[in-house]
Amino acid sequence: MAIKVRIPTPLQKLTNGRSEVECAAKNITELVDALEKDYPGMKERLSEGGKIRRFINIYVNDEDIRFVSKEDTTLKDGDNISIVPAIAGGR
């Protein structure tokens, strides 16, 4: 069993239109590296200097990694990851 990663619409151009991909990783840092390996360009859009960009939210099984261990958040087979770009705007 692998880790399922939900890809937001703006990043699906990197995954050939796929809204969900699978990969193997032990933590968020490894996840970003695995995504980059399979989908070049993903790493620069998700992270900078080894840290997740501040306007990118990542959830592991509906839990925000910012309140767990950030990039060191542990992953295991069967986890569901959601990548959610922050939305700004309004009046």
pLDDT score, position 90: 64
Predicted TM-score of the model (pTM): 0.92
What confidence category does residue 76 fall into, taking pLDDT thresholds of 50, 70 and 90? very high
Q: How far is CA 10 from the centre of its chain?
A: 13
Distance CA 85, CA 32 (A): 15
Amino acid at 82: S
pLDDT (0 to 100) of residue 19: 98
* Domain range list for the chain: 3-85
For the domain made up of 3-85, the CATH class stated in words is alpha beta
Torsion of CA 79, 30, 32, 36, to 10 degrees: -120
